[in-house]
Structures are given as structure tokens and as C-alpha cells.
Amino acid sequence: MDKKGTVYLVGSGPGGLSLMTKRAREVLDLADVILYDQLPGDEILASLPAHAEKVDVGKYGDHHTREQDEIEQLMVSYAEQGRSVVRLKGGDPFLFGRGGEELETLRAHNISVEVVPGVTSAIAVPASVGIPVTHRKFASQVTILTGNEDPTKEESAIDWDWLAKSRGTIVILMGVKNLGKIAKFLVDHGMDAATPVAVIERGLRPDQRETIGTLETIAERAQERKVRPPAVIVIGGVVLLYTGEHVIPR
């Protein structure tokens, strides 16, 4: 039987070559096949080696070039051909990157897997504008959640009541679409409407942009500024440390 190849679940970091790890660069340069989406950003995608077969498996709004089960089967198929396969993701592959699901599938097919961690945008992007997600004065805990889930649905996987009453920082990824609902839901569950919020679009890229407000004002401000994903949303007192504005507009 031919020897199976290895699949590398690679986190490319929050954006740009400078924050991609050395190990990520090594496995990319040696890959036979790279399955990628748009999240790593143009700079990293432009650096992919010419010799590798490159397959776009990205999700663009409601249009998915490949569904998740198809992506997993592609990884299995290429690895069973004895090829070195990289599944390239933005940020870290195990933070809302479905890397855990892919790991399970590959293990079920007895395929060797190496996980290459990446710097997560949930921490790096706020840091790029002077917002630490923890700070002794403001927050001793941080909660990272997906904003894809509509908070108003009947059965939520998120404990919004606990979240609204917690004293830590909340970081939301993939939450632009539901920003207004999330802000209202937190206030309805007891969080102060004056709690500062930062929305950082296209973090660590040349066209990065920040929108600052409060739970009460952020949805309207984001709409006025036509905020678009990808973006990282930070909620909590640490936003007061934002480099650009120390007075939070109301």
C-alpha cells in the first residue's frame, strides 16, 4: 500500500507575512497541495509557492465554493495519494476555524496530522490599536465567541445572561451581521448601555479601520460607516485604552 501523506492544519495568523510563524512558512513551502480561503489575506496568498496545487475552498458571504464536508474529503483524498497537504486558515485553526472537525475526520481515516498554531486575531487585532484584552484595572478574564449565532434564537449555545453580567472583556469574531442584535441583547440582559465597544475591520492590513462607540450607539455608527467583515468586535472597559480615542462617543 502506498504511504499516505500528511495534512497540516495551518493558522496563518491575523494578517500579513510578519505575523505568520516560521513553522507555517516551512510547511507551506514544502506543500504539494494547499487548500486556502480568503482569510489569510492577499499578502500571504501571493506568497504561496508556485509548485503547489492551490485549491480555493473559501466562503464568500452566502456563496461557499466548497461545503465543509467537501473540504474534509479533499484533504483525505489528497493525503491518500501520498501528497503533503496544507489546509491554510486565518488566525488559529482551532479558534472558530473548524480545525477540530477536520482533525477528527483525518484521524478517522488514519491520516497523519500536524496542527500549526497561529496568532489569533481575537488578541492581536485589538492589541494593534492599543486595546489589551485583559488589564488589571478593567478585566481579569476574556471571553471569545462567534458572532454568527443569532442571539435571539430560541436555543442558544451561549449563556447571554451570564455574559451580560460578567466583568470581563468580550471579543466577538464574525459578528458584524448580528452586531445590533448582540448589543441590544447584552443590554436587555443587564449590561450597561454605556459599555465601550470597538469594531476593528480588516485588522493588521493596510486598509484597517476602527469604529468606536458604546453598546447603545455602536450599531448606528457601524451602519453609518458601512462596516463590513472581516472584523473583530471588542466589548468592555479595555476599549478605553484605544490609541485613537480616549473619549468614547455616545
Q: Is 50 exposed, middle or buried (0-12, 13-18, 19+ CB in 10 A)?
A: exposed
Q: And the C-alpha cell for 209?
A: 479601520
Residue 1: count of CB within 10 angstroms of its CB? 4
- Write the CB contacts of 106 (distance below 8 Å, at least 6 apart in sequence): 7, 72, 75, 76, 79, 113
C-beta of residue 38 within 8 angstroms of C-beta of residue 145: no
C-beta of residue 110 within 8 angstroms of C-beta of residue 33: no
C-beta of residue 29 within 8 angstroms of C-beta of residue 134: no
Which residues are designated catalytic? Answer: 37, 59, 174
* Pairwise CA distance, residues 127 & 173, whole Å: 15
Q: Look up residue 123 and give its amino acid.
A: I
Helix (H) or strand (E) holding 34: strand 33-36
